[in-house]
């Protein structure tokens, strides 16, 4: 497996972004897309704790994608207590896909929707918080939106793969999930990964990564910290694809899991392996 550095750009124009990154579905890191946001200076751990620390938040852990614990809440706690927890050191508890703006509407005044492209979904603003060493397993977003992920204060490692690598990543059928670990790939179990090419970067404070629609992403918190995701659609087809994913997950994947239990998980793993083996045979 090969990891290629993701390009970082300053002063990228709307026209250049659309032609060179959006249309060809190519990731890029903006160093200055969020430079005018009041949140860049305002949203410190201390300020969030002092002003919004009483919000009750739902947390997930590294078992959130297990077959028997899919997206189950591991724990709830006060936001301020959680901020103190992730400042202290490693924890696998994460605040995942959380719309904090519904709990604290005034925070919307601290961000700006970019003009780098059209189609931003202004009702879908999510924050992600995690402790040092916590990870978000490899997946692509079910709604198929383009994602602009902006990092605050600390560091986060991001690894991306294009949709063309789905078979090499052993995508589970009827899902947007993969069980491979791009940091420590197990080539004995997942030999097709040897031929995969990914794209990697470390995000720093104020940087924004553009994750194109349908691109796989794996995220590791180098330090305890947080980021904000804004979403945008540039095509009606991505919205339709996202709707189909939701139907497939709700009625097929969850339905079969309810009916068959762990056997459904085993079947998906088996089919992912079979598809990868076919690819390896074709390339031999």
The residues that bridge with 228 in the sheet, in sequence order, are 127, 150
Give the pLDDT band (50/70/90) at residue 83.
very high
The pLDDT value given to residue 65:
59
CATH number for the segment(s) 2-283: 2.60.120.650
In the chain, domain spans: 2-283
* pLDDT tens digits, 30-40: 999 999 999 99
Task: Reply yes or no on whether the pLDDT at 66 is more than 90.
Answer: no
What is the average per-residue pLDDT within 96-108? 94
Task: Quote the crossing angle between the two packed helices 45-52 and 79-88, to the nearest 10°.
Answer: 160
- 269-278 long-range contacts (CB < 8 A, ≥24 apart) are 269/170, 269/172, 269/179, 271/172, 271/173, 272/170, 272/171, 272/172, 272/173, 272/178, 273/170, 275/167, 275/170, 276/167, 276/168, 276/170, 276/190, 276/191, 276/192, 277/192
pLDDT band with cut points at 50, 70 and 90 for residue 225: very high
Give the mean pLDDT of 145-173.
Answer: 97
Given a cut of 90, whether residue 107 has pLDDT beyond it is yes
**74: pLDDT confidence band, cut at 50, 70 and 90?**
confident
pLDDT of 223 reads: 96
Range from 38-52, 224-238, 268-282 carrying the lowest mean pLDDT: 224-238
Q: Which has the minimum average pLDDT: 19-28, 102-111, 235-244?
A: 235-244
A 10 A CB-CB count for 23 gives: 11
Q: Mean pLDDT, to the nearest integer, of 20-29? A: 98
Instruction: Read off the pLDDT band of 64 (50, 70, 90).
Output: low
The yes-or-no verdict on residue 141 having pLDDT over 90 is yes
Instruction: Name the most confidently modeled range: 85-94, 207-216, 241-250.
Output: 207-216
Tell me the DSSP string of 10-71: SS--HHHHIIIIITTT--EEESSTTTT-THHHH--HHHHHHHHTT-EEEEB-TTTTSTTSTT
- What is the per-residue pLDDT across 172-220, written as a single tens digit (0 to 9) for each? 999 999 999 999 999 999 999 999 999 999 999 999 999 999 999 999 9
- The answer on pLDDT for 63 being more than 80 is no
Tokens standing for 161? 């793969």
Give percent of the chain with pLDDT exceeding 90. Answer: 82
Quote the CA–CA distance of 200 and 217 in Å, as a whole number.
10
% of residues, the chain, pLDDT over 70: 97
Q: Is pLDDT at 69 greater than 60 in this prediction?
A: no
As a whole number, the mean pLDDT across the chain is 93
**What is the structure's pLDDT at 72?**
74
Averaged over 52-70, what is the pLDDT?
78
Q: What was the pLDDT predicted at 99?
A: 94
Q: Shortest CA distance to 122 belongs to which of 113, 131, 111, 130?
A: 113
For residue 136, give the nearest of 59, 218, 223 by alpha carbon: 218
């Amino acid at each position: 497996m090969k990891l290629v550095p993701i390009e970082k750009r300053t002063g990228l124009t709307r026209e250049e972004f659309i032609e060179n990154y959006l249309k060809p579905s190519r990731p890029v890191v903006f160093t200055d897309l969020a430079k005018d946001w009041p949140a860049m200076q305002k949203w410190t751990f201390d300020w969030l704790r002092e002003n919004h620390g009483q919000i009750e938040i739902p947390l997930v852990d590294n078992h959130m994608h297990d077959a028997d614990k899919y997206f189950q809440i591991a724990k709830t706690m006060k936001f301020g207590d959680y901020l103190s927890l992730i400042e202290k050191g490693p924890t696998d508890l994460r605040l995942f896909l959380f719309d904090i703006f519904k709990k604290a509407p005034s925070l919307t005044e601290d961000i700006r929707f970019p003009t780098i492209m059209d189609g931003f979904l202004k009702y879908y603003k999510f924050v992600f918080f995690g402790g040092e060493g916590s990870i978000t397993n490899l997946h692509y977003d079910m709604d198929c939106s383009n994602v602009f992920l902006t990092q605050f204060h600390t560091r986060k490692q991001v690894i991306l793969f294009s949709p063309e690598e789905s078979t090499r990543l052993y995508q589970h059928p009827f899902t947007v999930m993969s069980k491979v670990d791009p940091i420590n790939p197990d080539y004995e179990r997942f030999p097709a990964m040897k031929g995969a090419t990914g794209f990697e970067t470390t995000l720093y404070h104020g940087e924004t990564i553009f994750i194109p629609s349908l691109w796989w992403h794996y995220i590791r918190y180098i330090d305890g910290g947080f980021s904000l995701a804004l979403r945008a659609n540039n095509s009606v087809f991505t919205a339709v694809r996202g709707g189909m994913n939701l139907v497939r997950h709700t009625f097929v994947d969850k339905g079969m899991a309810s009916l068959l239990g762990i056997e459904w998980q085993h079947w998906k793993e088996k089919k992912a392996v079979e598809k990868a083996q076919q690819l390896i045979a074709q390339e031999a």
